[in-house]
């Protein structure tokens, strides 16, 4: 019996050690992914050694460490501050002066080229800022943190201290939307374009004009009938009856652009402890705070701050899951909160009141960057 108990205790200690290592690994990964500092002394994701302003909220408590909760979604908030008037060069490398030769022969002198030096310094500043943005997770989806969004290009994005890790929903989806629509090709436009192409190919303008004359004449006739029809309804139909054919526009399917992606998530919270109840309450609060602006000013003029941006990452244990698409910076456009289920039930009351036994939230995010082929190749 003693021998069996000894083996049981060894197994328990080994399992506890493995769990401790896994939790520490997750905490380090979250900290690294959010730009925080790494530590191997964390006992749980909620008790990791973040700075006081760096809060990590997870639901369930064992998300990322439980074998059934190894996949999860990581949300981080980024505040949009006002752009700085003066460029902060702290830490940016100072380039050497660019020299130029003035004069020739014995009287030639070497002096500093102020314009060339300024251009070199600006390039150095921009390269340094792009690298810093990538390191701190503030950059865009392009190479070196570049972005086609003016908000991200201005580098006035600062990560806040609150991050949220939530369990993976049963399914996640992404829709890639390309904008195509029909474009009408007018007879006159087609004739003039043909004249231009013939001229490009080397034909004389006179021969091209003669070739297009018939088409242009027919086009003018049809345009005239169309204009008369707007004043005297039925003229186009009478013309069609007389000619034995109808006038129909020539259309082509045209690519118009790329739509921004949107992402929707739904989470159901049924806390199993007082600690999870407090965490769920704070998670909902942080999402609401992040999506809301603040009033500034007063009197006749009122201003609002820009709400926070969110970065979203699909995670597995302690690393990003590259099998699922990456997501660029997003705004939280809408949030629905539903307290209770078929019947409103609460846990025992505390200082704040009676916490609901079940809470469901629905989040609708809109990506601010337009993703092109290079972004898709990078996993977006």
Separation between Cα atoms, residue 44 and residue 276, nearest integer Å: 13
Same domain, 161 and 277: yes
Q: What is the mean pLDDT of residues 259-270?
A: 95
Separation between Cα atoms, residue 380 and residue 373, nearest integer Å: 9
pLDDT of residue 98: 77
Same domain, 166 and 187: no
pLDDT at 325 over 90: yes
pLDDT in tens, 326-362: 999 999 999 999 999 888 998 988 899 999 999 999 9
Rounded mean pLDDT of the chain? 74
Q: Tell which wins on pLDDT, 38 or 264.
A: 264
pLDDT at 52 over 70: no
Q: Which stretches within the chain are classed as H helix?
A: 2-33, 114-135, 150-153, 187-200, 205-231, 235-243, 274-291, 373-377
Choose the weakest-confidence range: 2-6, 132-136, 324-328: 2-6
Same domain, 92 and 230: no
Same domain, 302 and 169: yes
- What Å distances lie between residue 291 and 260, 306, 307, CA to CA? 19, 9, 5
Nearest to 161 by CA among 77, 80, 82: 77
Q: What is the mean pLDDT of residues 63-74?
A: 86
Q: How confident is the model at residue 323 (pLDDT cuts 50, 70, 90)?
A: very high
- Token match 């007063």: residue? 298
Last residue of a domain, one of 107, 132, 148: 148
pLDDT of residue 114: 84
pLDDT of residue 39: 33
Separation between Cα atoms, residue 28 and residue 223, nearest integer Å: 70
pLDDT at 28 over 70: no
Same domain, 220 and 345: no
Nearest to 227 by CA among 199, 208, 201, 247: 247
Cβ neighbours of residue 291 closer than 8 Å, sequence gap 6 or more: 307, 308, 331, 332, 333, 335
Same domain, 166 and 297: yes
Same domain, 246 and 277: no
pLDDT in tens, 177-233: 888 888 777 665 665 666 556 656 665 545 555 554 555 455 545 555 556 656 557
Nearest to 199 by CA among 211, 208, 189: 208
Last residue of a domain, one of 257, 289, 317: 257
pLDDT at 176 over 50: yes
Same domain, 139 and 195: no
Choose the weakest-confidence range: 20-34, 46-60, 130-144: 20-34
* 153 burial level (CB within 10 Å; 0-12, 13-18, 19+): middle
pLDDT of residue 170: 92
pLDDT at 310 over 90: yes
Same domain, 173 and 54: yes
Last residue of a domain, one of 257, 274, 308: 257
Q: What is the mean pLDDT of residues 242-267?
A: 84
Same domain, 120 and 198: no
pLDDT at 15 over 70: no
Q: What is the mean pLDDT of residues 96-110?
A: 66
CB 280 within 8 A of CB 359: yes
Q: What is the mean pLDDT of residues 151-179?
A: 84
Choose the weakest-confidence range: 10-19, 252-261, 279-288, 292-301: 10-19
The number of distinct structural domains making up the chain is 3
Same domain, 198 and 242: yes
Q: What is the mean pLDDT of residues 273-280?
A: 93
pLDDT at 27 over 50: no
Q: What backbone torsions phi and psi does residue 374 show, to the nearest 5 degrees?
A: -65, -40
Cβ neighbours of residue 182 closer than 8 Å, sequence gap 6 or more: 251, 252, 253, 254
pLDDT of residue 192: 61
Same domain, 165 and 263: yes
Put simply, whether the predicted model's pTM sits higher than 0.85 gets the answer no
Domain that holds residue 345: 2-81+156-177+259-377
């Amino acid at each position: 019996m003693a021998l069996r108990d000894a083996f049981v205790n060894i197994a328990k200690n080994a399992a506890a050690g493995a769990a401790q290592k896994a939790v520490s690994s997750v905490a380090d990964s979250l900290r690294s992914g959010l730009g925080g500092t790494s530590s191997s002394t964390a006992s749980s994701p909620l008790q990791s050694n973040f700075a006081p302003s760096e809060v990590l909220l997870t639901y369930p408590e064992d998300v990322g460490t439980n074998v059934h909760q190894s996949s999860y979604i990581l949300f981080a908030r980024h505040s949009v501050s006002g752009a700085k008037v003066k460029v902060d060069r702290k830490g940016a490398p100072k380039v050497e002066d660019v020299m130029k030769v003035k004069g020739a022969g014995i009287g030639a002198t070497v002096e500093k080229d102020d314009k060339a030096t300024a251009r070199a310094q600006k390039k150095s500043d921009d390269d340094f800022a792009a690298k810093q943005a990538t390191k701190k997770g503030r950059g865009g989806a392009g190479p070196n943190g570049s972005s086609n969004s003016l908000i991200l290009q201005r580098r006035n994005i600062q990560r806040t201290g609150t991050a949220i890790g939530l369990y993976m929903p049963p399914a996640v989806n992404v829709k890639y939307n390309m904008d195509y629509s029909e474009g009408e090709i007018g007879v006159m436009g087609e004739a003039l374009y043909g004249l231009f192409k013939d001229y490009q190919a080397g034909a004389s303008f006179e021969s091209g004009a003669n070739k297009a004359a018939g088409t242009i004449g027919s086009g003018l006739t049809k345009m005239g009938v169309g204009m008369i029809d707007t004043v005297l309804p039925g003229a186009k139909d009478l013309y069609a009856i007389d000619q034995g054919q109808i006038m129909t526009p020539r259309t082509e399917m045209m690519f118009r652009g790329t739509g921004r992606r949107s992402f929707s998530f739904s989470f159901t919270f049924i806390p199993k402890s007082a600690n999870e109840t407090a965490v769920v309450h704070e998670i909902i609060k942080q999402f609401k705070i992040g999506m809301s602006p603040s009033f500034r000013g007063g009197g006749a003029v009122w201003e609002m701050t820009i709400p926070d941006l969110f970065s979203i990452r699909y995670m597995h244990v302690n690393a990003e899951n590259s099998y699922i698409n990456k997501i660029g910076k997003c705004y939280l456009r809408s949030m629905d909160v539903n307290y209770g289920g078929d019947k409103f039930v609460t846990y025992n009351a505390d200082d704040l009141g009676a916490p609901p036994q079940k809470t469901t939230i629905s989040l609708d995010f809109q990506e601010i960057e337009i993703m092109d082929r290079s972004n898709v190749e990078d996993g977006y």
